[in-house]
Amino acid sequence: MPLHDTHYQHWDGAHVGIWARRWVIARNGLAAALQNKAMRNVIALSWLAGLAMAALLFLVGQLLVADSMVVKWVAQLNPGLQSFARMLTSWLQDHPEISVGTTQNLLFYLFCVYATPLSIFALGMAMPALITRDLASNAMVIYASKAVTRGDYLLGKFCVAFGLLTLTWLGPVCGAWLVGNLLAPDWRFFWHARVALAHALLYVLSSMVILSALALGVSAVSSREKSTPALWFMWWVLGGVIQPIALQTKPWLRHLSFTYDLKQIGLASFRLGNDLKTAQDNIPIFGEMLRNIRPETMFALDHPMLGGALAGLALMLLLAGWVVVERVSPE
């Protein structure tokens, strides 16, 4: 084909701003991560979990309405239970802050904490699409020669990790809250469940920021596509393994596990101790059942190791930052 069948043409349009260029980096990275079928499956699984959570909230909501489907179903199972269900329902209707607020706070704590491994797994799979592949193909030179700085590049890549966690974690949590309360028998559920949502957002968003930054650090460690996911999963598993051992020997070692530290942040965010005490003191029958919780568990729920967790995470973030600064350069 002759070379000059098309002539060069000058371009005199307006340039887009720096945020648009950062967004291009983030969108491209996200698209690269989503090319992985397993990743798409993990996201689908996360949303299924969100759907299950919404269904659970729907069921809990039905318990608060006299003559609801659930109460009728209970009555069909055992007519003796119907009067108990009606008594509970009328009590719960009188104390919506406890019946809706406390219940949803507990449920969202469990949902957020148990959804964490799925998000960590997703980040592990996305590791090559963050920085690893760019290091392998010398793409840093290309980025550095364009109208973006290293900070812009890192912000874009951070958004890739954050975007993935939005799909696997924040999205399902918010979706479950919205759908669960939309299906509730009363619009006031939204109001009473606001604190549970605020706690969930505080925990999930802070965890997302921390995990995204840690993932960037790990993805910059090596230019080999298999090494960085392996390192990430190894760190995760090892953290889980040392937790019970460290408890017996050197408790501060537990803070080397980011999952343990995040759990402490979760406990501090959701303030489960307060909720349990409220439930113990106010909910008939179930409150009595909750009194069986062991004192040391109650103490752990009431006094999360927030200081140690923050110090441990700060150390990990510093290490991740150092790796990124050292590795992410055009040379």
Under the rule (CB under 8 A), what is the footprint of other proteins?
Answer: 1-16, 18, 20-21, 24-25, 28, 32, 35, 133-134, 136-149, 152, 330-331
Minimal distance, residue 325 CB to other proteins, in Å? 13
Residue whose CB is less far from other proteins, 12 or 94: 12
- Smaller CB distance to other proteins: residue 25 or 208? 25
Q: Under DSSP, is residue 148 helix (H, G, I), strand (E, B) or coil?
A: coil
3-class DSSP assignment, residue 328: coil
Give me the least distance between CB of 223 and other proteins, in Å please.
11
Shorter beta-carbon distance to other proteins: residue 32 or 306: 32
CB of 126 to other proteins, least distance (A): 13
Identity of the residue numbered 238: L
* Coil/strand/helix, residue 207: helix
- Distance from chain centroid for Cα 86: 37
Least distance from other proteins to the Cβ atom of residue 302, Å: 49
Rounded Cα–Cα distance for residues 137 and 140 (Å): 8
CB-count exposure of residue 223 (10 Å: 0-12, 13-18, 19+)? middle
Q: Given the structure tokens 């983030």, which residue do they identify?
A: 26
Instruction: Compute CA distances 282 → 66, 90, 92, 277, 298, whole Å.
Output: 20, 14, 10, 8, 17
**Closest approach of other proteins to the CB of residue 18, in Å:** 7
278 alpha-carbon distance from chain centroid: 26
Extract the tokens encoding 96: 């919506």
d(CA 18, CA 27): 14
CB of 3 vs other proteins, minimal distance in Å: 4
Q: What's the min distance (Å) between Cβ of 172 and other proteins?
A: 28
* Between 15 and 294, CB nearer to other proteins: 15
Q: Which is nearer to other proteins, 136 or 285 (CB)?
A: 136
Q: Residue 218, exposed/middle/buried by CB under 10 A (0-12, 13-18, 19+)? A: buried
Contacts 24+ apart (CB under 8 A), 45-50: 45/118, 46/115, 46/118, 46/119, 46/122, 46/167, 46/168, 46/169, 46/171, 46/172, 47/171, 47/172, 47/175, 49/111, 49/115, 49/118, 49/172, 50/171, 50/172, 50/173, 50/175, 50/176
Looking at the Cβ atoms of 21 and 95, the one nearer to other proteins is: 21
User: Which of 23, 190 has the CB closer to other proteins?
Assistant: 23
Of the two residues 284 and 330, which places its CB atom closer to other proteins in the complex?
A: 330
> Shortest distance, CB of residue 45 to other proteins, whole angstroms?
24
**39 versus 140: smaller Cβ distance to other proteins:** 140
In whole angstroms, how close is the CB of 230 to other proteins at the nearest point? 19
